[in-house]
Each structure stands twice: as C-alpha cells, then as structure tokens.
C-alpha cells in the first residue's frame, strides 16, 4: 500500500464526479446524511476559507479486481463523500449558502480553490482500515464502521436488502421502499419507517443484520449486538440459501405486520418489538398464518405493555431495541404473547414437517399405497398437508411427489374451492 499527496481544484473534483471517474459513494462509504443543513455548512466553511480536511481517495486505475466491480471509475472516495456531493450540489444550484447560490458569489475563485487530496493505491480491505483509522476521531457509529467492509459477502447480503446499488444491480426489499417527498424534486423519504432519510447512519443495515444473526441461530432470540454482527461480517461466514431465504421471509413478515402499527411505520423500537415476538414464535416451531390479526394483537399488546411499564416508571424501549441481550428480548416477547391470548387461527404451532420415522410409519400404515391407488415407495413420497400449512393445516400424510406438486388450472382450483365450501354436494 502506498499513497501520494496532491492538490486538485474543486472544479477538477466536480469534473471527475460528473464524468464518472470519481465515485463519491462506493459501497463502504457512509450514506448521505438526510439533512439540508450539513451540505450548506460544508459549503459555507469552504467559502469562508476554512480547511475542511484532506480528501482521501482510492486509486483503482491499476487494480484489475476493483475495475471489474467499478468498471468506469478511476477513483473511489474513502473519506470525503459528503464534501464531494456538496460540491456537485452547489455547482448544480441546489444549495443556497449563507452568501447565496454559486452564481451569486465569485464562482471562479471558489471552483479554482485547491483541496488537498491523498490518493491511496490499496486493496478494499486496506481502504476499510484507512476509513476506520481516519474516523476514530470523528463521529462514526459502530454500524458504519462494520459496514465499511467492502469485501465481506455477509455485508454485501445485508446491503442488498436495504438499498439498490448500481454495482450490485439489485433491488432492495420492499420494506425499505421510498417515495419522493411532496413539494420536492429529489428528497427521498421512507415508506415504512419513521426515519427522516433512507438507511440513516446504516440503521436499516443493523435491523437486517439482527435478523440474519437470529436466522443463523435457529430462528430464535439470541444475542445480536454489535460485537456479534462485527464478528459475522469480519469472519465472512458463507450464508446458505436457506438462511438468506429465512431473512427475506422475516422482512416480508415485518412488512405484513405494519397494518395496525402507529402511522403504518416502524421505528427502531417498534421494529425491535416485532422481531422479538416473531422469533419467539419461530423458536417454538410456530408460523404466522393470519398477519392482519397478528398485527392487530401485537400492537394492542405493545400499547398495553407500554402503559403498564410507564405506570411503573420502568422503561422497556431499551429492551425492545436491545438486540445484544437475547434473553431479555425472549422474556419480554413472552409477555407480549401472553397478552395476545389465544392465537388459534392466527399462528400455526403444528410442525411443518415430520421426522423420517414418522414419515416412514405413516406410509407403512397405509400399506405403501398412494391416494391414486398405486403402490408408493418411500423415495417417491413426501410429507403433504391436506390443508396448506400456511393456511392453518395441521394434518399431513405421505403422498406421491407428483400429486403434491400438481399445477392446477383455474377451473380446477375453482372446483376445489367450491367443494371445500359445499362438501355435501360438491357445488
């Protein structure tokens, strides 16, 4: 790893960004702060002649691996993303400084002012360490430090859920959707969170990371604080398709549970309440089958417990968002479940599958015969619910795989529904 110190005018920096040669927001960079005042403060300081710090870039022009990921770029920002974005916005007349727009000041003097640029030739891992070293003396939270790791596939999976990235060509999970705020041209606001911005200070990454830790540990409430998340990202454990699917299922469940939430949005605290109850149920082998009713009962219990502990002058919000203490979350989750009452028809506590012995004995007792009247060997059979488990079905039997995976026509599906409604005459 080596570096050089040079001078670049603000005009040159803006030009590099506009021409797609300098990426001000690579994957490990902190997200833009959802604030109208921060970029104005940066520009004001620059106009007044204050030194805002050296800009630290990563030179990838000779880095074949990096060029595969960032094919058109020559430089990636390690530290200076906010300053670079502020310069472009000011040049676009989107920022009004205390001295007016760029057209109202001595623009040439401002743009021709030089900034100190430190350019490193280094790997992504070394860039992560440079970022962390620089920011030991500035305000960077633990999740931002963790997610600065650009190499980790665990971090990549987490990022892909919360935001769409050009480099990944991905779509974020719908839970983290956004819209343009009314009355603005480009201010994005979340659809399902009470946050002011998108993934502020990597807050959404933390929520996904918590789900991931719990899915990796049997889909139950376990310790999922920053030390655990950090170790997971740094050790870069290979994630199975099942674990990744379980995380996405949990995110789907979170979105479905918003129906009766306050303002139909989550805060970190209310998301904490959802996930601890969700994993407490999954830890008991249960599955939610009626999300509307689950949402109603959950948020009723949430309001009841908030009032109870407020009257006792005992804060419980710290437990809801205290992902690092799985035991406390499990204990509080059971208080929720007690208040939610009889969950018959809302949650299916029956097992989705059965042991090999149970499956074999079921088939043997039927004389190794299928419902089609033909002999059925164990290798051709699978555990099949008479009513789908997701619809509350509890009874299952071994049936021919091909029958369990029939692709029914619309007419056949209608006939089945009619027979379920009117079993006596089939109409």
- Confidence at residue 355, expressed as pLDDT on a 0 to 100 scale: 73
User: Are 397 and 335 contained in the same domain?
Assistant: no
Same domain, 1 and 130: yes
Is there a single domain that holds both residue 314 and residue 409?
A: no
Residue 158 domain-assigned (yes or no): no
Measured CA to CA, the distance from residue 35 to residue 86 in angstroms comes to 11
First to last CA, the chain: 77
Buried b (16+ CB within 10 A) or exposed e, 212-225: bbbbbbebebbbbb
Domain boundary at 310, 344, 378, which? Answer: 344
pLDDT value at position 122? 94
> Is 304 part of a structural domain of the chain?
yes
**Do 239 and 325 have their domain in common?**
yes
- Tell me which residue range forms the domain holding 52: 1-138
Question: What pLDDT shows up at residue 426?
Answer: 47
List the chain pLDDT tens, one digit each, 427 residues: 899 999 999 999 999 999 999 999 898 776 666 667 889 999 999 999 999 989 999 999 999 999 998 999 999 999 999 999 999 999 999 999 999 999 999 999 999 999 999 999 999 989 988 888 887 655 678 999 899 898 899 999 999 999 999 889 999 999 999 999 888 877 889 999 998 889 998 999 999 999 999 999 999 999 999 999 999 999 998 999 999 999 999 999 999 999 999 999 999 999 999 999 999 999 999 999 999 999 999 999 999 999 999 999 999 999 999 999 999 999 999 999 999 999 999 999 865 556 788 788 888 888 888 888 889 888 888 867 666 645 555 667 878 877 766 666 777 767 767 776 666 554 4
Radius of gyration of the chain (CA): 27
Q: 121 in a domain, yes or no? A: yes
Residues 337 and 360 in one domain: no
Dist. CA 288–CA 212, nearest whole Å: 19
- Taking the model in full, what pTM does it have? 0.69
Residues 395 and 328 in one domain: no
User: Total domain count for the chain?
Assistant: 3
Residue 232's pLDDT is 97
> Which DSSP state fits 331?
H
Cβ proximity of 95 and 89 under 8 Å: yes
Listed residues 344, 379, 402: the one ending a domain: 344
Please check whether residues 269 and 382 belong to one and the same domain.
Answer: no
* pLDDT at 45 (0 to 100): 94
Last residue of a domain, one of 344, 375, 393: 344
Which residue in the block uniquely carries the two structure tokens 């601890």?
Answer: 276
């Amino acid at each position: 790893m080596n570096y050089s110190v040079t001078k670049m005018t603000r005009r040159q920096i803006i030009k590099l960004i506009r021409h797609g040669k300098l990426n001000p927001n690579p994957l490990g960079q902190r997200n833009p702060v959802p604030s109208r005042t921060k970029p104005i403060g940066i520009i004001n300081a620059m106009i007044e002649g204050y030194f805002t710090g050296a800009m630290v870039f990563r030179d990838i022009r000779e880095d074949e691996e990096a060029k595969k990921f960032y094919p058109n770029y020559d430089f990636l920002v390690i530290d200076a993303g906010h300053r670079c974005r502020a310069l472009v916005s000011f040049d676009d007349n989107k920022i009004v400084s205390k001295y007016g727009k760029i057209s109202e000041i001595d623009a040439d003097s401002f743009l021709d002012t030089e900034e100190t640029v430190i350019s490193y030739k280094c790997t992504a891992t070394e860039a992560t360490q440079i970022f962390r070293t620089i920011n030991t003396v500035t305000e960077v939270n633990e999740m931002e430090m963790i997610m600065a790791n650009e190499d980790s596939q665990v971090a990549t999976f987490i990022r892909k859920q919360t935001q769409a990235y050009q480099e990944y060509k991905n779509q974020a999970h719908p839970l983290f959707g956004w819209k343009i705020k009314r009355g603005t041209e480009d201010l994005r606001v979340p659809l399902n969170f009470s946050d002011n911005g998108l993934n502020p200070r990597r807050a959404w990454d933390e929520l996904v990371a918590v789900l991931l830790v719990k899915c990796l540990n049997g889909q139950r409430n376990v310790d999922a604080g920053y030390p655990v998340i950090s170790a997971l990202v740094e050790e870069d454990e290979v994630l199975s398709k099942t674990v990744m699917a379980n995380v996405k299922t949990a995110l789907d469940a979170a979105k479905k549970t918003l129906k009766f939430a306050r303002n139909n949005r989550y805060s970190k605290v209310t998301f904490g309440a959802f996930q601890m109850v969700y994993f407490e149920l999954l830890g008991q082998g249960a599955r939610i089958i009626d999300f509307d009713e689950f949402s109603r009962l959950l948020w009723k219990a949430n309001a009841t417990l908030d009032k109870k502990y407020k009257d006792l002058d005992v804060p419980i919000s710290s437990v809801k968002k205290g992902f690092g203490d799985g035991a406390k979350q499990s204990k509080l989750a059971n208080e929720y479940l007690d208040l939610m009452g009889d969950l018959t028809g809302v949650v299916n506590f029956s097992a989705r599958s059965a042991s090999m012995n149970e499956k074999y004995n079921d088939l043997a007792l039927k004389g190794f015969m299928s419902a089609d009247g033909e002999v059925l060997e164990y290798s051709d059979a699978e555990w099949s619910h008479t009513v789908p488990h997701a619809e509350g079905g509890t009874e299952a039997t071994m049936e021919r795989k091909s029958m369990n995976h029939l692709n029914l026509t619309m007419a056949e599906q209608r006939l089945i529904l009619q027979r379920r409604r009117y079993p006596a005459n089939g109409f």
